[in-house]
Structure 1
Amino acid sequence: MASMKDIVWVGLVEHLRGQDAVVVFSGFLPVNAAIEAGVKYFMPSEWALDTAGDMGSTSEQIGPTLLTNMVLAPKRVSHNYVLARAAEGKIKFAVIYAGVILESVLRNGFLQFDFAQHTAVLPDNGVNPFAVTSFVTISKAIMSLLNDPSKFSNRFYHIADGVLTLQDVLRIFEKESGVSWGKSSYSIKEGSEAALVNLQSGVYGVQEFFGTLTAPFFGGLQVFKKLDNEVFGIEDGEVDMRQEMARFAKEQIKDA
């Protein structure tokens, strides 16, 4: 199994040297390259939301289908392309949706929890539930898939360790820090609309990217009604996300 690190890195760096920007228009190139190279299995980049809309189209009705926008639409285009190539028998694929990888969005600035100042900014007051998954569970799913890909071909899968709200997360952080935090809130709807206006005007920055994803991540739309945990050998309660958040809080308090 090869990774991006196996690409001829020096050649790529030299090719990009002196360029002001790199524009990627679609995700078709990796798919086509994989097919031409004889790669048997392809896993599109996901690990979060049901961007393909599989939840609302299945008989199980796993959950509501997300409305598309300029950030989510390219994902669906890529999914459709992979589905078409798989239908032609050119490649096999699997997509794993894991809800919110909470530790990741806490570290990358998507969520505003300040352990030094003990303040939190909660979208919609942090009351909306969302499916949440740990790195441990995601890793287990990937390893199960790669160990026997024939068992997981040409399907969309949903995994999660549980359901939380940002209010739950804040209470855990307050308990671990031993102090009450200052809280503020903003409207997810208004933030999303403002981000889309900027995107339509040609402004595409970090705030616009986060703004368009806040609704699907934390707007109460992505609580999966059916999970595929057992398919990957993931047992119920194997990872307690409240304990994971307590562990994360201890690390942040130590570094604050």
Structure 2
Amino acid sequence: MTVEPAAPQSRPGRTPRLPRTARRFQLLGAAREVFVAQGYHAAAMDEIAERAGVSKPVLYQHFPGKLELYLALLEEHSEKLVSSVREALASTTDNRLRVERSVRAYFDFVNDPSGAHQLVLESDLRSEPAVRQRVEDAFAQCVRAIAATIVADTGLSQDEADLLAVGLVGLAETCSRWWLVRGGTVPPERAIEAMVELAWHGIGGYPRSSPASDGAGPVTDVGAVTDVGAG
């Protein structure tokens, strides 16, 4: 009787071989936990490898160094935030809902239990040009998305729309972070509602361009504008 060869056993404390994509996902998850808990400077590749259950050579096969690993995480999570804002804007034609969902995107982002928002909004590595560039790019993409919607709906100049968009993004980012630091003492739904009211009473005052005006200029009935899409 022939004996079947025993299945290869993984070394104690090490995870079994994974496809490259799955391994990368695993390594990024372990790195996120370490970076969030300790910050960039205190984090060590040894600890990240141990957290992932792999050897350091395996970690270095995927990421040449700690900075490249950090940048990969920053790219992943900044894109999540940008995508959430874009989805909020595309989800409705009701402008008040657009404001609400955009603000909510920031509150949801900072309130994620993973703490990944710290990499994007509170990085301790802003002095590194590559990190600063990615953080600023994420901010700029959110601003551009909101500004494009403002231009399309109001006919304001690009510069004015950009300024308004920067104000809305700044409000959403700063207030959501402050809310989290304060321990969410204001219930999240109430916090979002308060920020939306603050933003909407300003943005809602800008007249919306009316297709029916046939180029005659924007509508001037501000009261009607604030009810647009309220259906």
TM-score when normalising by structure 1: 0.29
Choose between structure 1 and 2: higher strand proportion. 1
Return the index of the structure with the highest Cα Rg.
2
**Greater RCO (CA < 8 Å, at least 6 residues apart):** 1
TM-score when normalising by structure 2: 0.31
Choose between structure 1 and 2: higher helix proportion. 2
